[in-house]
Every structure is written in C-alpha cells, then in structure tokens.
Amino acid sequence: MHILILGAAGMVGRKLTERLLREGRLGNRDIGRMTLHDVVEPARPADAKIPLKVIASDFAEPGAAATLIAERPDVIFLLASIVSGEAEADFDKGYRINLDGTRYMIDAIRTAGGGYKPRLVFTSSIAVFGAPFPEKIGDEFFHTPLTSYGTQKSICELLINDYTRRGFFDGISIRLPTICVRPGKPNKAASGFFSNILREPLAGEEAILPVSEDVRHWHASPRSAVGFLIHAGTMDLNTMGARRNVSMPGLSATVGEQIAALDRVAGKNVVARIKRVPDPTIIGIVAGWPRDFAMERALKLGFTTAEKTFDDIIRIHIEDELGGKFAA
C-alpha cells in the first residue's frame, strides 16, 4: 500500500513516519511506498527500507493537491496545519492553509475519478470547543470554537463528514489532546508551559510556570498521538456511522499533578528547576481551555492511550526522547 503524509515535517508527522518505517506495515497490510509532504521539505529518514518520495509544496496553491494524489495513495494522513497562535495572528494565512488547503485536498480526491476512494485521516483539535463548557466535555458537546484555528478545524470536520457520506473517501477526524511532553525547544505558544515544565528540568534547564498549580488540562503523549493515527488509519470506520469526528482519549491532570508525577519519576532536584512566574495573559488564555473529556465513544471505537498515568507520560518522554536518561 501507498501512504501519503501531509505535514510530515511536523512533530507528529515525523513520529508517525518513524513508526510506519519501523513497522513496515499499517494494520495487516505491507507498506509498499510512502510520500512525505510539507511546505518545507521533510527530512528523509536514514535507512528507510521502504521507497520514499519527499515533496515540498504549498498545498493551498490550486493544483498542488492534484499532484500529491496523482499516484493514488491508499491512506492519506492530513496533519498539515497552521498552529493556533499563527492562525489568530494572520487571519488570511490561517483560512488559506487550514480551510482552503484542506478543501483543495478533499476536492482533488473527489474529482480524481476512476473509483479512487482512499482512507483520509484528519487531525482535528480540542480547540473546536470553547468556554463555557462543562467540567467534562461530552461526546455530543457542540462546536463552540473561540479561535479562528478552532473554527477552521470544526469546518474541516463537517466537510470530511459530508464528503465521506457522499462516498468521495473514507474519512475520519480525530481531535488530539494537547501533546505532552512535546519535544524540542520551548516555544511561545500559550500552551507551551505544560511541556516546558517537564522537558526543560529533565534536560537540566530551568523552566517557567506562568499559571497556578490548580490549572487542569487534557494531555496525551506523542506516542499516543501516533497510536491514534495508526488506529484511525486501520479501523473499520463504518462503525462510526455518519459522525466521523471524535475526541481522542487523554489524561486530565492539574499542573500540580504534573509536578507531583515529575517528582515521583525524576526527583526533587529536577522539580526544583521549575520557577513560578505568574503571567496574567497566559492565565487568562488558559482559563478558557478544556479541562477534561468524556471519552466513552473513543474507547468504544478502540482508541487507547499509551499511558495510564502522568508518570507514564514522563517516562515515555525519557524513553523516546532522552534515550532513557535525564539530568538528575
């Protein structure tokens, strides 16, 4: 089979690529080749045993999408997206990439002809929900985005449901929790601190905690995110009926619980590297974010996390990113 990954240069895209190359199969089918796409050329993994094609293009340019599906990939992972902060700061760019880009892609599939009907896995986000909402957001809570990013993701979910219903492809939209621990350097995203306060201390660096310890949020490890994508790429989607959009499972934890887990896994010295510097702007933004989710539907559909506790989330980071060691 042929797999196309859009957004392959991003964090989740890279990890998905690595796992698919390592396993050589998706579900019970061997992977014959893969196409990796992003707006910047994705790194070509070393020692890949599967034929790889690497493409850099702007998929929101008319015509680009048709090129990407010219070789009729069987499964398409559509991870490409402008992040929340950028979609809010640059209105035109956000709509162009997150809405028009997705639409060019699904219309290219729709009009490809020859009975082409791939699996399409789209990464949506819990940003489709905005306050006020219940402490635990249910599987039938309505689209209430409070950002342009969340609006764009909501719209893409609706499009993918409709295009699937019309038989143009076999689609699913999965809403990822906030990924924690996010590897890489600290960034200025308002959500960055959820990872920074774990990743930086484990690397021997100080990290800033800008909110109080009672802030609760919804997390999943990068390993879980890749697992969700693989399951979405292989499961029988007909079990979902017409509602092909679903919130993924995760772990609800307060910042205090995150820090307690870090203490258990890595010890006091590591925890001591967290500096408390309240930031009223970030406190305000985070106050409007989801804290917890009912996940009955996702579990029933067979989606599972790689972690049972927040301690596991930290251990997964140490295993997958730090070669099993941290700065004690």
Q: What is the rounded end-to-end Cα distance, in angstroms, of the chain?
A: 45
Check whether the bond before 255 is cis (ω within 30° of 0): no
Contact between 144 and a copy of itself per CB under 8 A:
yes
Alpha-carbon span 282 to 27, nearest angstrom: 41
CA dihedral 208, 211, 214, 218 (to 10 degrees): -80
Nearer to a copy of itself, 89 or 328 (CB): 89
Q: Is 143 in the site for a copy of itself (CB under 8 A)?
A: yes
Secondary structure of residue 142 in the 3-state scheme: coil
Q: Does 135 bind a copy of itself (CB under 8 A)?
A: no
Measured distance CA(286)–CA(269) in Å, rounded: 28
For a copy of itself, the closer of residues 11 and 146 by Cβ is 146
Identify which of 172, 181, 251, 183 has the alpha carbon closest to the alpha carbon of residue 14.
183
Q: Tell me the C-alpha distance between 327 and 223, whole Å.
A: 22
Shortest distance in whole angstroms from residue 167 CB to a copy of itself: 11
Catalytic position from the list 95, 104, 149, 163: 149
Instruction: Assess contact for 149 and 94: CB atoms under 8 A.
Output: yes
- The SS3 assignment for 316 reads helix
Q: Residue 49, interface with a copy of itself (CB under 8 A)? A: no
What's the CA gap between 71 and 32, in Å, rounded?
Answer: 13
Residue with tokens 């305000």: 284
Residue 242 touching a copy of itself (CB under 8 A) = yes
Tokens for 81? 């997206």
CB of 296 to a copy of itself, least distance (A): 15
Size of the site for a copy of itself (CB under 8 A): 21
Contact 303, 231 (CB under 8 A): yes
The window from 23-31, 149-157, 254-262, 275-283 that contacts a copy of itself (CB under 8 A) reads 149-157
Q: In terms of CB distance, is 95 or 193 closer to a copy of itself? A: 95
Nearest-approach distance from CB 147 to a copy of itself, in angstroms: 8
Kindly write out the interface string for residues 151-190 of this chain, putting x where it contacts a copy of itself by CB under 8 A and - elsewhere: x--xx--xx-xx--xx------------------------
Tell me, yes or no, if 116 is annotated catalytic: no
Stretch 288-307 residues interacting with a copy of itself (CB under 8 A): none
d(CA 255, CA 111): 48
Instruction: Give the whole-angstrom CA distance, residue 263 versus residue 272.
Output: 9
Based on CB atoms, which residue is closest to a copy of itself, 132 or 323?
132
Q: Scanning residues 81 to 110, which ones bind a copy of itself (CB under 8 A)?
A: 91
Q: Give the per-residue contact string, 260-289, with a copy of itself (x = CB under 8 A; - = no).
A: ------------------------------
**Binding residue for a copy of itself (CB under 8 A) from 52, 55, 141, 297?**
141
Least Å distance, CB 67 to a copy of itself, is 22
Sites of contact with a copy of itself (CB under 8 A)? 91, 130, 140-146, 148, 151, 154-155, 158-159, 161-162, 165-166, 242-243
Give me the active site residues, please: 149
